[in-house]
């Protein structure tokens, strides 16, 4: 064999050997790496959004749920069937895309989804993207319920993914760890054109926990409407004083079961519809108006703090009695005014109302009775007793509610020294004794305190069913006397002209809290009512607090709100829960800025 031929054969054999070894490497040794890489060209792992937990009222009525919404996402380039797609969605055209894909149509009507799925199939630059959207078919007061928004940059750093919903306020934020689900994962196979060929579920999503509230949606409707109705009484008072009318109510109501602390209704005004935050595209002008509104509709006034006015006199009376600083027989004259420390301190009435014991002082809300009791006892000693008793009543503390709340302030000598570097002055105790001065409480705290007066135990308030905690007994020897004074408020005192003939026996306390820097007519209006008292087995126990910011007289503005809620709860007085249902069944249609 010639030498040149031998050389050629050797080269052929070597080439064949190299080819065989390379084939062996690709097919055997590196098979797993290359087959995975090959499949990576058309297999992609994607996350599956988890449904957020639903929210129900105590009777199983749905308040918050989820729906699947579809958006059309465009990443640029030529579009097949562009004219047909534009006609279906009312688009003027497809925008120029530089960078991230854009949503060209959000919340596509469900009837168009099948047609669009066919038109976009195989178009890698068009995606009919499904997402989970929050929906509130029966929203309660927006500041209480709160709202959700899609996860932002800060949320993504905390483990959320793009498209996740995050609770931003109220119950939606407070219950976020329970309501938030866990995403699943799927393997999606697509062809070269981007069309989906098949999907394999790798891990199913875990829905968030469903929540049942203590709220009774029917009573909630009554409470919200009753709160709004205060505007008429508020403006009637303004008119008498020659003051300009208000256009909106600012205030709160809360109704609770005093035995277990369940919140049956909680409303704040003005409020908003939480649906406006969840529908895309988000109406920016509406959101801005809510944020910039001077009436602060995003604020839950049920858990904000204010001076309580005369509603605090029940706590003062209890403190003075239990500490032995006054007795049930202690009598002071209810004078139009007294002078202490060179300052004139007035009663709300300009006439001498005669001698009174503590129960009558509560019933007629006599400021000067409490002034004289504090002076006689010693203002500093009285302050210590009042502060200690207020703490027993849960004031200046969290109530137990799941939502964020302000704790307020029960002032003490130590607090003033620490805060201002000044001693406590005797005259300041006189202000605190009637619910003024630096004292601050929330409507929720007052509901809890009066539940304690009604039952002798301090309950923990809660909005979620199944979170019952035992109430804390409060020592006391004069519960009946305090209740008697509050009953006399209704039968003969400051609330009698509105509640004397109410079908269910109740007790309560009016309050008109002065607001620094504002003239008469701009006081905070309060009323706290409870019943049945005396007990009546035909009616379930209830405590209701109404607070109207700068509303004027508590007996004329706040009291009617409480009366309507009590009448609906007990089904008396011509207002029933059925009446409330008839006009409030379609609650989801309300506008965002109506209050």
What is the CA angle 247-253-255, rounded to 5?
160
Query: 203: which strand partners?
Result: 185
Ordered DSSP codes for 478-504: -HHHHHHHHHHHHHTSTTHHHHTT-SS
Q: Which CATH architecture has domain 217-589?
A: 3-Layer(aba) Sandwich (3.40)
Spatial distance between the Cα atoms of 47 and 66, rounded to a whole number of angstroms: 18
Q: What is the pLDDT along the chain (595 residues), one digit of tens a residue?
A: 566 666 766 666 676 766 777 666 656 665 544 554 454 456 888 888 889 999 999 999 999 999 988 999 998 889 999 999 999 999 998 998 888 888 889 889 889 999 998 898 888 889 888 888 899 999 999 999 999 998 989 999 999 988 889 999 999 999 999 999 999 999 988 776 666 778 899 999 999 999 999 999 999 999 999 999 999 999 999 999 999 999 999 999 999 999 999 999 999 999 999 998 887 777 788 888 999 999 999 999 999 999 999 999 999 999 999 999 999 999 999 999 999 999 999 999 999 999 999 999 999 999 999 999 999 999 999 999 999 999 999 999 999 999 999 999 999 999 999 999 999 999 999 999 999 999 999 999 999 999 999 999 999 999 999 987 899 999 999 999 999 999 999 999 999 999 999 999 999 999 999 988 788 899 999 999 999 999 999 999 999 999 999 999 999 999 999 999 999 999 997 454 443 443 343 333 343 332 3
**pTM for the structure as a whole:** 0.87
What residues contact residue 537 under an 8 Å CB cut-off, 6+ apart? none
Task: Note the CATH number of domain 41-74+131-213.
Answer: 3.90.1310.10
What is the CA angle 479-480-484, rounded to 5?
120
Per the listing, tokens 């029933």 go with 576
Say if CB 71 and CB 129 are below 8 A apart.
yes
Same fold: 41-74+131-213 with 217-589: no
Q: For residue 373, what are the CA distances in angstroms to 308, 338, 486?
A: 20, 12, 19
Could you give the 3-state DSSP secondary structure of residue 358? helix
Could you give the 3-state DSSP secondary structure of residue 209? coil
Say if CB 40 and CB 48 are below 8 A apart.
no
Domain ranges (residues) in the chain? 41-74+131-213, 217-589
């Amino acid at each position: 064999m010639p030498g040149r031929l031998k050389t050629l054969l050797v080269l052929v054999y070597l080439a064949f050997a190299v080819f065989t070894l390379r084939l062996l490497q690709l097919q055997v040794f590196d098979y797993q790496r290359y087959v995975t890489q090959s499949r990576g060209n058309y297999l992609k792992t994607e996350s599956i959004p988890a449904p957020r937990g639903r929210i129900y009222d105590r009777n199983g009525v749905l308040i918050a749920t989820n729906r699947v919404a579809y958006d059309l996402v465009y990443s640029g380039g030529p579009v097949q069937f562009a004219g047909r797609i534009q006609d279906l969605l009312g688009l003027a055209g497809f925008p120029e895309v530089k960078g991230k894909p854009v949503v060209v149509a959000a919340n596509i009507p469900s009837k168009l989804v099948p047609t669009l799925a066919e038109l976009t199939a195989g178009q890698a630059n068009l995606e009919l993207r499904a997402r989970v959207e929050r929906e509130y078919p029966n929203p309660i007061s927006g500041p209480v319920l709160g709202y959700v928004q899609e996860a932002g940059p800060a949320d993504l750093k905390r483990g959320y993914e793009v498209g996740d919903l995050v609770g931003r306020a109220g119950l939606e934020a407070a219950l976020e760890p329970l309501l938030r689900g866990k995403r699943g994962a799927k393997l999606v196979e697509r062809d070269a054109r981007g069309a989906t060929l098949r999907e394999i579920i790798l891990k199913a999503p875990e829905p968030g926990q469903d929540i049942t509230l203590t709220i009774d949606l029917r009573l909630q409707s009554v409470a919200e409407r009753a709160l709004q109705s205060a505007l008429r009484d508020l403006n009637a008072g303004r008119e008498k004083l020659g003051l300009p009318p208000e256009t909106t109510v600012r205030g709160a109501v809360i109704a609770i079961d005093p035995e277990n602390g369940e919140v049956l209704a909680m409303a704040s005004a003005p409020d908003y519809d939480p649906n406006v935050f969840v529908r895309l595209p988000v109406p920016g002008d509406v959101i801005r108006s809510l944020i910039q509104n001077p009436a602060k509709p995003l604020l839950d006034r049920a858990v904000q703090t204010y001076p309580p006015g005369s509603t605090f006199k029940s706590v003062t009376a209890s403190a003075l009695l239990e500490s032995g600083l006054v007795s049930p027989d202690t009598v002071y004259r209810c004078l139009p005014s007294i002078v202490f420390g060179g300052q004139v301190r007035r009663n709300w009435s300009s006439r001498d109302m005669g001698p009174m014991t503590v129960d009558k002082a509560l019933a007629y809300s006599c400021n000067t009775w409490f002034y004289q009791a504090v002076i006689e006892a010693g203002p500093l000693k009285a302050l210590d007793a009042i502060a200690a008793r207020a703490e027993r009543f849960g004031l200046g503390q969290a109530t137990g509610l799941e939502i964020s709340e302000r704790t307020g302030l029960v002032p003490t000598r130590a607090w003033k020294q620490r805060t201002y570097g000044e001693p406590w002055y005797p005259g300041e105790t006189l202000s605190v004794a009637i619910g003024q001065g630096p004292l601050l409480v929330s409507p929720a705290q007052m509901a809890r305190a009066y539940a304690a007066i009604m039952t002798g135990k301090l309950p923990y308030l809660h909005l979620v069913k199944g979170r019952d905690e035992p109430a804390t007994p409060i020592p006391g020897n004069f519960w009946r006397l305090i209740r008697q004074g509050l009953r006399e408020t209704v039968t003969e005192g400051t609330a009698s002209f509105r509640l004397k003939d109410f079908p269910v026996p109740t007790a309560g306390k009016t309050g008109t809290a002065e607001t620094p820097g504002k003239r008469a007519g701009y006081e905070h209006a309060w009323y706290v009512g409870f019943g049945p008292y005396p007990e009546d087995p035909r009616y379930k126990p209830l405590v209701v607090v109404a607070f109207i910011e700068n509303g004027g007289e508590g007996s004329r503005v706040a009291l009617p709100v409480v009366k309507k809620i009590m009448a609906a709860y007990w089904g008396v007085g011509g207002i029933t829960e059925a009446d409330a249902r008839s006009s409030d069944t379609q609650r989801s249609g309300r506008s965002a800025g109506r209050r």
